[in-house]
Structure 1
Amino acid sequence: MRSLVRYLLKNHAFVLFVLLETLALVMVFNYNSFQKAKYLNSSSRLTGNVYNMFHSVTGYFGLAGVNEELAGENARLRTLLENHGGKIAGVDTMFVFAGETNTVFRFVPAMVISNSVNRPSNYITLNKGSKDGIKPDQGIISPKGIVGVVAQVSESYSMGLSLLNRRWSVSAKLQKSGYYGSLIWQENDYRYAGLTEIPLHVEIAKGDTVVTSGYSSIFPEGILVGTISNFSRPDGDNYYSIEVELAVDFKSLSYVEIIENQDKQEINELKNMLRDAPGID
């Protein structure tokens, strides 16, 4: 301890310079949007490269499970094609469900190179970025269901908030009745989340399917979220307390798809026009 004190006293000018330089850099990045964006871009690229190298080694040992997952996805798409009588038009990674919706969603496949499940706010890192057309606020799904939403993008990588993140919620509904609410992770278990705002007069049962409502411009309607595993009627409350078992196993994520809503800009422009209209709060 004495040696440390003597070193600091002897080199106090250099130590003071380092502290002030660090403080100056923090202020530059925090209060200047351009420098902050460049820093986030560079750090995301560096982190992505490290994760990508690590994943290239560890991913080899999970190839059997990945192949099984991809085979199941191929079977699901073939079934979907047959059920629609060949009315699905495919252009690269874009699929249009003819006769059902006027909204066009583009699906970009991506590989998970980093993922966490045991933190209050969990994130997922993908090997696709702005050069692949990825932008913030695009949805992330897997063959089994909803995963999260893109938060930050660099040239080659993107980082998203997973469903296991209290900073983000998704609009979900009961497939049987159509009643919708907000799905929020409770931080207790990576396998479960809570569905709120479902009125007590709605009939629900364990095993009922929960899907995306389609009321946001991020996800199409009907993507699987999970199933009801438990529910109760809290005293003095008008809504159920519902526990949902998530369809996605976040500990075994390998490949996902990023969703781009081609009509999102037009939808947001309409929302902004309504919000800025006189007499409307």
Structure 2
Amino acid sequence: MLRAFRFIVDLFTQRHGVVAFAFFLVLGILMHQASPTVRESIVDKALSTVFYPVQLLLASVNDFKSMQAENEHLKAENARLRQETYHASEGLQELARLHTLVRFDDKWDFPIVTSRVVGHNPGRFLTTLVINRGTHHGVKENMPVMSMNGLVGKISKAMLTHSRVQLLVDPNLKLSVLERRTRVVGFLESVDGHLLSAMIPSHAGVAEGDTLITSGLGGIFPKGIPVGTVHKVRKADLDVMSLMDVKPFQEFSTLEEVFVMQKEPDWIIQELLDE
């Protein structure tokens, strides 16, 4: 049919007027002498031959639009499935963390309030966090804050539904620590808001890799909470003391959930704090 269409077009484009006239004259005579059924068949074939390229073009356009719409639908479906997979993975990780939290709660003599980190200070160094638990949940100032890895800090300000956590690296937080192997007591603080250092008597023989825990002195933190490991031992200004760089067990920038231990300061220490 396509060849017949091209043949008819060539008759006119090449200006074969005589041939075209003879062709249509013969076609008219045949149509006149043919039966109605034959004439209808010839007309149908002629029309289908003429309109076939147009129909083919329209069909191709419709197919292209259909494929384009299906492609957009598949892209949207793929994005939705990727999002669902991501949320499922996050849910499994959170479930594993919560399972560990439940077991962690049984290790201490004080009730534990689990909370989520919802903010932190915008300064150069991370020294404070904001959690989504406050006085409405039994959280009070000076309560210890921990993670599954170790000590984080303490509650510095408690509001109704939120609280501020003062981290170990805050220069204003001082901590009494105990070296687990030698059982010697030292003093931990941060000078620059970034690194931790401990002052421990030189005669104790504390070495790199030793573990520091809370000593229980001071009345705020109970004894035995892991703090960090001795990273480097240096000489202090006093010969009887050694200055040690301490690497905390908990990386504060990766915190998502923390525990608030519902332990209020001992009454003697509280009196000193109030003075």
- One fold, TM greater than 0.5? yes
CA distance in 2, matches of 1:63, 1:164: 31
Q: Deviations over 1:221-251 (max 9, x none)?
A: 0100011111122465321010111000111
The one-letter code matched in structure 1 to 2:207 is A
Tell whether the 8 Å contact from 1:117 to 1:250 is kept in structure 2 after alignment: no
> What pairs up with 1:86-235 in 2 under 5 angstroms?
96=109, 105-116=110-121, 119=124, 122-187=127-192, 189=194, 192-196=195-199, 198-234=200-236
1:261 match: secondary structure? coil
Task: Provide the TM-score with structure 1 as the length reference.
Answer: 0.58
Change (3 A) 1:161 1:63: farther
Change (3 A) 1:236 1:147: closer
Partner of 1:101: none
Query: Is the alpha carbon distance of 1:253 and 1:63 closer, same or farther for their aligned partners in structure 2, counting shifts above 3 Å?
Result: farther
User: TM-score normalized by structure 2?
Assistant: 0.59
Q: How does 1:58-69 map to 2 (within 5 A)?
A: 65-69=93-97
Report the equivalent of 2:37: none
Give the Cα separation in 1 of the matches to 2:161 and 2:133: 5
Larger Rg over CA atoms: 2
* Pairing 1:245–2:228 present: no
Which residue type is aligned with residue 179 of structure 2? L
CA shift, 1:117, in A, is 8.5
Deviation, structure 1 residue 158: 0.7
SS in 1 for 2:255: coil
Q: 1:109, 1:257 within 8 Å by CA — same for their partners in 2? A: yes
Structure 2, gaps ≥5 residues long: 1-86
C-alpha deviation, 1:178, in angstroms: 1.6
Deviation at 1:257? 0.9
8 Å Cα contact 1:120/1:166 also seen in 2? no
Give 1:216 deviation, angstroms.
Answer: 2.3
| Residue matched to 1:31 | none
Going from structure 1 to structure 2, the CA distance change for 1:76 and 1:127 (only over 3 Å counts) comes to: closer
Distance 1:175 1:116, change over 3 A: farther
Find the counterpart in structure 2 of residue 47 from structure 1.
Answer: none
Q: Assess if the C-alpha contact under 8 Å between 1:111 and 1:256 holds in 2.
A: yes
CA-to-aligned-CA distance 1:173-226 (integer Å, 9 cap, x gap): 10112211221123274xx41011x11111112110100011122211010001
- Is the partner of 1:149 in helix, strand or coil? strand
Q: Deviations over 1:70-126 (max 9, x none)?
A: 444456667x5xxxxxxxxxxxxxx53xxxxxxxx2221111111358635721101
Paired residue total: 187
Higher helix share: 2
**Bigger shift: residues 206-215 or 163-172:** 163-172
Whole-angstrom distance in 2 between the partners of 1:69 and 1:250: 16
Give the Cα–Cα distance (whole angstroms) in 2 for the partners of residues 159 and 218 of structure 1: 16
* Alpha-carbon distance between aligned partners in 2 of 1:133 and 1:77, rounded to the nearest angstrom: 16
% identity of equivalent residues? 23
Tell me if the contact between 2:219 and 2:266 (Cα under 8 Å) persists in the aligned partners.
no
Question: Which structure features the higher share of strand residues?
Answer: 1
Between the aligned partners of 2:121 and 2:164, the Cα distance in structure 1 is 12
Secondary structure in 1 aligned to 2:136?
A: helix
Alpha-carbon spacing, 1:158–1:74, altered in 2? closer, same or farther (3 Å) = closer
In the alignment, the residues of structure 2 paired with residue 232 and residue 253 of structure 1 have an alpha-carbon distance, to the nearest angstrom, of 30
Provide the secondary structure at the position in 2 that maps to 1:251: helix
Letter in 2 for 1:180: V
Question: Is the 1:209–1:227 Cα contact (8 Å) retained in structure 2?
Answer: yes
Distance (whole Å) between structure 1 residues aligned to residue 207 and residue 217 of structure 2? 24
Q: CA, structure 1 residues 136+234, in 2 after alignment: closer, same or farther (shift >3 Å)?
A: closer
